[in-house]
Structure 1
Amino acid sequence: MLTAPAPETVTGPQVLRGAISSQRRDVTLGSLLASSHQAGEALVPVIIGVVVDTAVTSGSITLLVAWIAVLAVTFAVLSYSFRFGARAAERAAENSAHDLRLRLTRRVLHPGGGADAGRLSGELVNTATEDAKRVGAANLVLPFGLAAVVAVLVAAVVLLTVSVPLGLLVLLGTPPLLLLTHYVSRPLERRSEVEQERAAHASGVAADLVTGLRVLKGLGAERAAVDRYRTTSQASLLATLRTARAFATQGGVVEASAGLFIALVALVGGRLAAEGAITVGELVATVGLALFLMAPLQSAGWMTVEFAQARASATRIAAVLSSPPAVLPGTRAPAEPVRGHLRLRGVRHGALQGLDLDVEPGELLGVVAPS
């Protein structure tokens, strides 16, 4: 059953932090399991390189079988880690989105009202569905974003053991890539907020149009209503296209920069192998890790995009939750004991001017409102 707490005053960052902290158990579990999965993925090319250097080079069947068994165990661990880690992250995302929908519903149904001030009903529905879903999705991307950092660190440590220049290249090259990803995601955050506002307004206008369709037909104002919705829909479409362009730009920059970085790592590893500084197995591990790094770098870019949209949606949710009440509570305490007698004196609101009314206990009262 929904209760009616007093309207709260919150900010967008508080909404986002609360959505994450309320699901910290599943987020932590998902982060640990996702990190285990990424660490296992990073170790796969390393194990293959060891197989090449030891089992294949030595020609030992025993070593070959042993390292294949190690590889199989690694695949089993990373597979189950991803399975249960993704499950925990999805659970955190759905639970936090559900909690936000309940908070928004309590605010909209609060006896003091005020949440609908300047907002159509469709806008509130959009905020309680799409915006709550985007904020909840932060709990899904956070574990995999942290796992991407773990993957880069594991790869860097392995490359340091193979070659100090390779390890330093990864350690020193990754932070600028992440900063670049964050920088190119700023326009996406701004445009995402505008996109959600336009989409919510279009939903509100559509709901308003359907609700008043009979009245519009009676007035003969269907064309004006359709024109109004068409204008709103076109504005929503333009905002969506701008967001899509920002998303494409961000994705292109991330893909291109990550690809160049990985090509550089592979080039340096190849030159070291050609010079005899590393073995063939270490070259295999280096190239495998270079190819593997594309996935965590893409995950980092995906996390940046999702968090940008979550921050924008959290701001919209905070605006609804922080709406001031339209009706303030009374300042006087009720009479004691309460006998069921209602007395109104000098009530003024809208067309009411100085209404005086006495209602006795058990009295059947009818109110006539002349039109």
Structure 2
Amino acid sequence: MSRPRAVISVRRGEISDTPVVLPDPLPAATPRALVRRAMWGTRRFALPAAGSAVVHQVCEALVPVIMGRAIDTAVVAGDVRGLALWLGLLVVNFVLLAQVVRFGTWYGQLGAETMQHQLRTDVTDRLLHPRARTDRLPGSALALATNDVRRLTMATTLMVYPVGEAAAIIVGGTLLLLQSVPLGVAVLVGAPVLLVLLDLLGRPLRRRAESEAAAIADASGAAADLLAGHRVLAGIQAQDVAAARYRDTSRQTLHATMRARAHQSGLTAGLGAITGLFLVGIAVGAGLLAVRGDLTVGGLITVVGLTQLLMNPITAFARNVAPVWSAAQASASRLLDLLSEDETTARGAPTAPATDTLPVRVADVDLGGGERIHLDIAPGELVGINVEGTRAVALAETLAARRPLDDGASVLVGDVAVNPGTPETARARMLVAPHEASLFDGTVEQNLALPGHRADLLEVALRTAACDDVLRVLPDGLDTVVGEGGLRLSGGQRQRVALARALVMDPPVLVLHEPTTAVDSVTEALIAERLPRLRAGRTTLLLTTSPALLAACDRVIEHPAAVDVSGAR
């Protein structure tokens, strides 16, 4: 059975609703292999585009030939009908030239953008995977998902444009041979020599361009990290220090850019001089042959036109192929380090959540400063843990499998161990809602309707989190856009929506870390009253110092740093 394929209309520039899917370039053992696999993965689009590039270059090469024949027909033979025929061929050639440019550019761009989308999705999945590194800064992640993916997929153009440029050199040299054997030989021999010379001259520029790209990535990453942590920096009044560090990074980027641009200017001038001398030499040789009668006027125009035409693919080949390839390998190396991390697990099927009510046992877990905690939570209990500050954060991160455990320490959800190295199974049974209420950019409903949520609990979850009042004041209710991080909502509104999001998931074990610090006392009392009814029969842990929430619990653990805290309130 054949899989559905997207239907692509070149005439209308449209794609059917069937998604365009390209072969996955992973697994790849080396950066070079990843680049090759990404290039070959776009062959469905790159090969037709390369064919269009070849036809385009052939049509370009035919322009001076047709013009030369038209001039000879009109000037030498005085054949008006022959001139009209050649001019008609020239029009047909230009029409074909325009169509193949349109087709090749559109098709090649579609393949590159599709591969870029797939790789960016893979990178995002890896960055958000439960086992992903937690020490990677947002700016670094942003550079991987944008700059490095873009530079890697730029290599797909090497299957298109260099093919056409090589065809132009071969076809142009052959046409020159038909006009004049000495000139044709000079071009076919001189073009590769010129290509090698240009490549040697361009190597320092490629090294500087790679340094420039790395510096720009560092600067953009530093800027993203600075903006992401602006509130924290403002809180500790460290804006000046952070700004000074960013200025240093930006200044280094500026110096790298200026060095690269200065070298590029010199290289451009050198390339222009070398190719210009080569063109002048061919033109002088063609002129001497014309004076001797070995070339007609039309032949002279053909030779000069073909020689000038060949300069573009020769210089483009030297400027583009090696820099694009080396930049793609550098980005592929960074992406491979990310995408190859625990690849089997990252691409495995998600673990199905447990449906039973489960107990929780915490044994000998260090909360910092040598204080250790022991907990035994029975199935279906609503337990309040009166803990605050860094100890509360440490306990929440431990339960969320984001904090390594010391030797001898353990956390069990039912019979499943919470392990930062393999967190998927435990997270399918226990949801830890952090104190920081961070929402996704989208509507309120989109933030609540996450994969695995219970739609039948949506209304009661909103009421339990006291979001019914929030929805009444929001302009579009559930369809209100909350903005990046929920910044269009107030702190209390954002916290209540985040609480409703945790409740509607209905996990067997739910851990809430200070879920009501941004709401008023009346709202907090409503949440404390409604929460036990919604979570009845489900295990719930409240890490809080709120008297109202603690009063609603089945039991309260007042001093979790004690040696054994399995007793009642």
Q: TM-score surpassing 0.5?
A: yes
Instruction: Identify which of 129, 147, 159 aligns with 1:110.
Output: 129
Which residue in the other structure is 1:364 paired with?
382
Structure (1 or 2) with the larger CA radius of gyration: 2
How much has 1:85 moved relative to structure 2? Answer: 0.7
Query: Offset of 1:349 from its aligned partner?
Result: 8.8
Amino acid of the residue matched to residue 140 of structure 2? E
Task: State the alpha-carbon separation in 2 of the partners of residues 264 and 369 from structure 1.
Answer: 85
Q: What is the CA-CA distance between 1:105 and the residue it aligns to? A: 0.6
Q: Does 1:19 align with 2:35?
A: no
**Partners in 2 of 1:235 and 1:358 — Cα distance?**
55
Counterpart for residue 123 of structure 1 = 140
- Looking at structure 1, the residues matched to 118 and 212 of structure 2 have their Cα atoms a distance apart, in angstroms, of 23
Q: CA, structure 1 residues 357+77, in 2 after alignment: closer, same or farther (shift >3 Å)?
A: same
Q: 2:231 pairs with 214, 221, 243, which one?
A: 214
SS at match of 2:160: helix
> Compared with structure 1, are the counterparts of its residues 191 and 367 closer, same or farther at alpha carbon in structure 2 (3 Å cutoff)?
farther
Q: 1:158 to 1:111 in 2, by over 3 A?
A: same
Which position in structure 1 is the counterpart of 2:109? Answer: 90
Answering whether residue 237 of structure 2 is matched by residue 224 of structure 1, we say: no
- Give the letter for the 2:31 counterpart: G
Cα distance, 1:35 vs structure 2: 1.1
Matching residue within 330, 339, 344 for 1:312: 330
Find the counterpart in structure 2 of residue 3 from structure 1: none
| Preserved contact between residue 142 and residue 303 of structure 1 (Cα < 8 Å) | no
Partner Cα separation in structure 2 for residue 12 and residue 100 of structure 1: 14
CA distance in 1, matches of 2:28, 2:376: 38
Q: CA deviation at 1:11?
A: 3.2
User: 1:346: how far off?
Assistant: 5.2
Which residue number in structure 1 is paired with residue 76 of structure 2? Answer: 57
Aligned-pair CA distance for 1:166: 1.1
AA partner of residue 35 (structure 1) = V
> Residue type matched to 1:33 in 2?
S
Kindly provide the CA deviation profile for residues 107-130 of structure 1, in whole angstroms up to 9, marking residues without a partner as x. Answer: 11111112x54x421122122112
Cα distance change on mapping 1:157 and 1:9 into 2, 3 Å: closer
Corresponding position of 1:164:
181
1:74 aligns with 2:93: yes
Any idea what the Cα deviations from partners look like across 1:289-334, whole Å, max 9, x if unmatched? 1121222123213423333433333333233334579x99xxxxxx
TM-superposed CA distance for 1:245, in Å, is 2.9
Aligned identity (percent) is 37
Partner of 2:131: helix, strand, or coil? coil
CA contact (8 A) 1:97 1:136 kept: yes
Say which of 253, 259, 265 aligns to 1:236. Answer: 253
SS at match of 1:293: helix
Return the match for 1:41 from 42, 46, 60.
60
CA distance in 1, matches of 2:340, 2:205: 25
Offset of 1:338 from its aligned partner? 8.3
Distance change >3 Å, CA 273–CA 353, structure 1 → 2: farther
Whether contact under 8 Å (2:367, 2:373) holds in the other structure is no
Map residues 122-141 of structure 1 onto 2, 5 A cutoff.
122-140=139-157
Which amino acid in 2 is paired with 1:43?
L
Q: Aligned AA for 2:275?
A: A
* Structure-2 residue corresponding to 1:332: none
Matched letter for residue 140 of structure 1: T
SS of 1:220's equivalent in the other structure is coil
Q: Structure 1 stretches of 5 or more lacking a match?
A: 1-6, 329-335
Contact map agreement 2:202 2:319 (CA 8 A) in 1: no
Once the two structures are TM-superposed, the CA of residue 92 in structure 1 deviates from its matched residue by 1.8
d(CA) in 1 for partners of 2:202 and 2:154? 17
Judge which range, 61-70 or 293-302, deviates more: 293-302
- Supply the distance in 1 between the matched residues of 2:219 and 2:193 (Cα, whole angstroms): 40
Partner of 2:201: 184
**What is the identity, as a one-letter code, of the residue corresponding to 2:50?**
S
1:58: Cα distance to partner?
1.6
RCO (CA 8 Å, sep 6+): is it higher in 1 or 2? Answer: 1
Q: How far apart, CA to CA, are the structure 1 residues paired with 2:286 and 2:334? A: 48
Cα deviation 1:270-307 (Å, max 9, x = unaligned): 12112222222211110111121222123213423333
**2 CA distance for matches of 1:349 and 1:13?**
46
Q: How far, CA to CA, are the matches of 2:213 and 2:108 in structure 1?
A: 24
TM-superposed deviation, 1:251: 3.1
Structure 1 residues 247, 340: closer, same or farther in 2, change over 3 A? farther
Structure 1 stretch displaced more, 164-173 or 357-366: 357-366
Q: 2:160 — aligned with what?
A: 143
**C-alpha RMSD of matched pairs (Å):** 3.0
Are the aligned partners of 2:152 and 2:332 in contact in 1 as well (CA < 8 Å)?
yes
Q: Greater helix percent: which structure?
A: 1
Which of 259, 266, 270 is matched with 2:276 structurally? Answer: 259
- After superposition, the Cα gap between the structure-2 partners of 1:196 and 1:216, relative to the gap in structure 1 and judged at 3 Å, is same
Q: 1:313 to 1:263 in 2, by over 3 A?
A: farther
Please give the TM-score of this superposition, normalised by the length of structure 2.
0.57
The answer as to whether partners of 1:120 and 1:201 remain within 8 angstroms in 2 is: no
1:131 Cα deviation from its structure 2 partner:
2.1
Tell me the distance in 1 between the aligned counterparts of 2:97 and 2:48.
15
2:175, 2:169 → 1: CA distance? 10
Whole-Å separation in 2 of the counterparts to 1:152 and 1:17: 24
Q: When the two structures are aligned, how many residues end up with a matched partner?
A: 356
User: Are the structure 2 counterparts of residues 338 and 75 from structure 1 closer, same or farther at C-alpha, using a change threshold of 3 Å?
Assistant: same
1:196-230 per-residue CA deviation (whole Å, 9 max, x = no partner) reads 33222222322332233333333332221221111
Question: Hey, what's the Cα distance between the residues in 2 that align with 1:139 and 1:349?
Answer: 51
Provide the residue aligned with 1:99 in structure 2: 118
Give the partner amino acid of 1:204: G
Higher mean alpha-carbon deviation, 15-24 vs 241-250, is at 241-250
**Which amino acid counterpart does residue 103 of structure 1 have in structure 2?**
D
Kindly provide the amino acid, as one letter, of the partner of residue 155 in structure 2: A
Name the aligned partner's letter for residue 64 of structure 1. L
SS at match of 1:185: helix
Q: Distance in 1 between matches of 2:33 and 2:369?
A: 41
**Structure-1 separation of matches of 2:121 and 2:368:** 32
Whole-angstrom CA distance in 2 between matches of 1:246 and 1:321: 35
